[in-house]
């Protein structure tokens, strides 16, 4: 019994996030195990930029071959449900917190929207796939989670064991 986690540790084991207040195109950041978890409600226009990034060949790991996400998120959306992105909002270059910049051309003229880490210049698309030329070596990490769109909840359950934060 003395080896069981404390009540405080057990409470941090999972985090439930309410999707209800997240409007299309918006993000929400929640804290889970002292890590920022981002949830983005992607619009059809935002999802279209994922194909555009692949077609332009600007991604380091477009097929998510480096295991930065659970197997059920190894797709261009890096999510269980295309319009809902859930990820750890930590740049894996030096553990900075990237900014959410969804608008085209808001970071550079060629920018399709995504996450930008102004500290050292790492850039990611709207699925948090790292863009070529960024100092970050990998796509941002995706935790293990369950989503219930009907109930409008996401439950973050644990860190995917093969993912690298930084």
Percent of the chain beyond pLDDT 70? 93
**pLDDT number for residue 32:** 94
* pLDDT tens string 32-43: 998 999 999 999
- Residue closest to 129 by CA, chosen among 117, 138, 120, 142: 138
| pLDDT tens-digit map of 56-67 | 999 999 999 999
Please write the tens of the pLDDT for every residue from 7-24. Answer: 666 656 899 999 999 999
Q: Return the percentage of the chain with pLDDT > 90, whole number.
A: 89
CA distance 149 to 146: 10
Residue 101 to residues 40, 68, 81, 112, 132: CA-CA distances in angstroms? 11, 21, 21, 9, 17
- Whole-number Å distance between alpha carbons of 79 and 69: 9
CA R_g for the chain: 16
| 7 or 82, higher pLDDT | 82
């Amino acid at each position: 019994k003395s080896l069981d986690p404390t009540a405080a540790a057990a409470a941090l084991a999972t985090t439930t996030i309410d999707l209800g207040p997240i409007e299309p195109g918006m993000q929400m950041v929640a804290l889970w195990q002292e890590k920022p978890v981002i949830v983005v409600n992607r619009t059809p226009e935002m999802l279209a930029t994922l194909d555009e990034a692949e077609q332009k060949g600007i991604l380091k790991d477009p097929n998510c071959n480096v295991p930065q996400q659970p197997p059920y998120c190894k797709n261009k959306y890096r999510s269980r449900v295309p319009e809902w992105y859930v990820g750890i909002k930590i740049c894996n270059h030096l553990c900075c917190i990237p900014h959410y910049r969804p608008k085209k051309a808001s970071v550079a003229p060629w920018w399709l929207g995504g996450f930008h880490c102004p500290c050292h210049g790492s850039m990611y698309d709207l699925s948090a796939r790292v863009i070529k030329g960024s100092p970050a070596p990998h796509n941002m990490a995706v935790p293990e989670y369950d989503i219930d769109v009907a109930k409008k909840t996401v439950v973050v359950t644990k860190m995917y064991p093969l993912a690298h934060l930084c």
